[in-house]
Amino acid sequence: MTTAVGSLLATLPGDRYTDPGNFRREQERIFETGWFCAVRSADLDKPGAYRTVQVGRESVLVTRNRRGDLRAFLNVCRHRGARLCTQQAGEVRRSLQCPYHAWTYDLDGKLTAAPNLTRMPDVDRGSLGLHTVALREWLGYAWVCLAAEPPSFEETVMADVADRLGGGDVIGHYAIESLALGRRHTYDVAANWKLIVENFMECYHCATIHPELTEVLPEFADGLAAQYFVGHGPEFAAEAQGFTVDGSAGFARLPGVPDAHDRRYYAVTVRPQVFVNLVPDHVIWHRMFPLAEDRTVVECDWLYAPEVVAAGTDLDRSVELFHRVNVQDFDACERTQPAMSSRAYRDGGVLVPSEHHIGEFHDWVTGRVEGPG
């Protein structure tokens, strides 16, 4: 790694962003061992609705059972391993059926039928159900964990949020689970997932590539990283009426947001793959799906008060601000990815003081990838 000099700290070496073997270890030791934000609960709005998501090296199937509860399974038929659901999203009436040999499972994962199964009385249907994946709902999203013994949700996911906002109850002011989806954009980014996390964690780049954002949040033009300061939210510019692309008025403040949070922006990184952006009238929620060492799909939700969405309100100016930020950020990450394999970056680069907290993220990743298996 590059040797730190004075104010500069060393980054990870370039091959941590390009080596397929390192990415496999990250899949195994990060994405397949911790809590992973999979789907928005409201997307599965009725029994039989399902969505498949890539979690590490596994396809995970999330569905809603007949009682209305969310359940998660490995998307693998117990017969000969065929992919059970081949579409990213869909809906079944009462059961999940493998398209290969028609083995059929109910919405709780129990094997209910298969061709000629009655001729095999010794087969224990109960032992051949789908492999269950741990699931926890929080803030309107379903989080899954592939580990046989999942880590504490409170000490990992919830702790990340509480540590950033200065308390475990702060996020509750925004009542995210009660908000409605106003818009969703999906971005296919030709960059390593860590570059995207690092970008989101710092604002040293903001004055360079985010003119619209710094007009609304002038503090960001100074390169300060809001996430470095517990409980801090940059204040809107005096002339900005709302968090919109042109500084025009947004919508009414969400009912639970206190005066202290009015006209302020808060960003939270929930390791390893969630970004939460809080402003008084809406919430922007990013989920990353790392698919290869140089490819990451990011799904971004804009969430508003239900009455705003139900009224068919024009959301364009509200959505456009962070959509532009996303495009600007992801373009920067895609410009960076090719250089990760350059001999000039073999030993890595450096972090300036306003980026030093990224070093903690690097230590977190390294500790999991290189720690005891």
Which tens digits make up the pLDDT trace of 262-292?
999 999 999 999 999 999 999 999 999 999 9
Which tens digits make up the pLDDT trace of 203-261?
999 999 999 999 999 999 988 777 778 899 999 999 999 999 999 999 999 999 999 99
Fold type of domain 35-145: Rieske Iron-sulfur Protein (2.102.10)
Confidence (pLDDT) at 117? 79
* Strand duo 95-97 + 111-113: pairing: unpaired
Confidence (pLDDT) at 119? 78
- Both tokens of 189, joined, read 């980014």
Name the segment(s) of the chain with CATH classification 3.90.380.10: 157-370
Looking at the structure, give the CATH architecture of the domain made up of residues 157-370.
Alpha-Beta Complex (3.90)
| pLDDT over threshold 70, residue 1 | no
Q: How confident is the model at residue 5 (pLDDT cuts 50, 70, 90)?
A: low
Q: What is the mean pLDDT of residues 315-330?
A: 98
Q: What is the mean pLDDT of residues 40-67?
A: 98
Which tens digits make up the pLDDT trace of 348-367?
999 999 999 999 999 999 99
Q: Could you give the maximum distance between any two Cα atoms of the chain, in Å?
A: 76
Could you give the count of Cα atoms lying within 13 Å of 220 in the half-sphere of its Cβ? 28
Which tens digits make up the pLDDT trace of 147-178?
999 999 999 999 999 999 999 999 999 999 99
pTM summary value:
0.95
Please tell me whether residue 140 adopts helix, strand or coil conformation: coil
> Residue 302: which H helix or E strand, with range?
strand 295-304
Count the Cβ atoms, other than its own, within 10 Å of residue 171: 21
* % pLDDT > 70, the chain: 98
Q: What is the mean pLDDT of residues 137-141?
A: 98
Which tens digits make up the pLDDT trace of 59-87?
999 999 999 999 999 999 999 999 999 99
Name the segment(s) of the chain with CATH classification 2.102.10.10: 35-145
| pLDDT over threshold 60, residue 2 | no
String of b and e for 222-257 (b: at least 16 CB within 10 Å)? ebbbbbbeeebbbebeeebebbbbebeebbebbeeb
| pLDDT over threshold 70, residue 190 | yes
- Both tokens of 265, joined, read 């922006």
Give the span between the Cα atoms of 231 and 268, in whole angstroms: 10
Please tell me whether residue 370 adopts helix, strand or coil conformation: helix
If you average pLDDT over every residue of the chain, what do you get? 95
